[in-house]
Structure 1
Amino acid sequence: MGFFIYDSSREVAVDDRTLVHLQVVIVDKFRRNERFAMTLFDQKRLVTVWMTPQSPLQFVYEGNRQPKLNRVWLDQLSDTSAMTGMLQLIPEPAEQCPVDPGALPGRSRRNVKGWRTATRPG
């Protein structure tokens, strides 16, 4: 279980697998200079925060291995957010060929539906 930390004042426990998918969608939206609301559950409470590219965020993972990315889930999270203006968690759908972030080359490249992979050192 990792943590999504917003403005060092709000810490929400999130499963590492879910957290990495949120991170990819959020960073992609920030690259396009988008602003949006995000809603997460925090200990049986609903927490909504306003997200801008200037928002101080941290994605803290418990494990030392990044989970494989589910392209279908990334697309659904992004599409739902674009329609409603709010990023919300939805159940993870099944996918045939997940993306292994550890197998990506050391430079950015485009993959399915325009998603950009982060540049990895080394």
Structure 2
Amino acid sequence: MGTIYYGGSATPIDIEDRALAHLKVVIATKLRRGESFTVSWTHPEGHPGGRTTLWLHPSIPLRFTFSDPEPPELSREWLEELANSAHSSGGIVLVPGQVDGGPIEIAAAAD
């Protein structure tokens, strides 16, 4: 299970390592270009109910940590889906498996 530390928040965000590796590539690409966007998810079982949305901006500190020392193999198709959703008005929407380590899927964002 990987972790995102965003801004001054003391609350880490746990995301499955493979999903986080893909997300990191898309986030780094967007932020390198100076583009802001959102990432949203529904809270996984065992956590307080609800959902979270982060507004990602190049000026806000961001750190990724991974439990596995070796980077996973990346899927070009998944990277393209995440990048396309990051460009949409709905931003990236992670599905429960991406946050809690279950099956990996991508949610289509509405434009």
Q: With structure 2 as the length reference, what TM-score do the two structures score?
A: 0.74
Q: Which has the higher contact order (CA 8 A, sep 6+)?
A: 2
Q: Retained in 2: the 8 A contact 1:25–1:78?
A: yes
* Code of the aligned partner of 2:30: K
User: What does residue 74 of structure 2 align with?
Assistant: 69
Verify: 1:20 aligned to 2:21, yes or no.
yes
Q: Retained in 2: the 8 A contact 1:4–1:60?
A: yes
Q: With structure 1 as the length reference, what TM-score do the two structures score?
A: 0.68
Give the paired residue count.
92
Worse-matched range after superposition: 80-89 or 64-73: 80-89
**After the TM superposition, which residues 43-54 of structure 1 pair with which residues of structure 2 at under 5 Å, given as runs?**
43=47, 44-54=49-59
Q: Displacement of 1:40 after TM fit? A: 2.8
Work out the CA distance in 1 between the residues paired with 2:13 and 2:79: 20
CA RMSD of aligned residues (A): 1.6
In structure 1, the gaps of 5 or more residues are: 93-122
User: Percent identity of the aligned residues?
Assistant: 34
Deviating runs (4+, > 4 A) in structure 1?
none
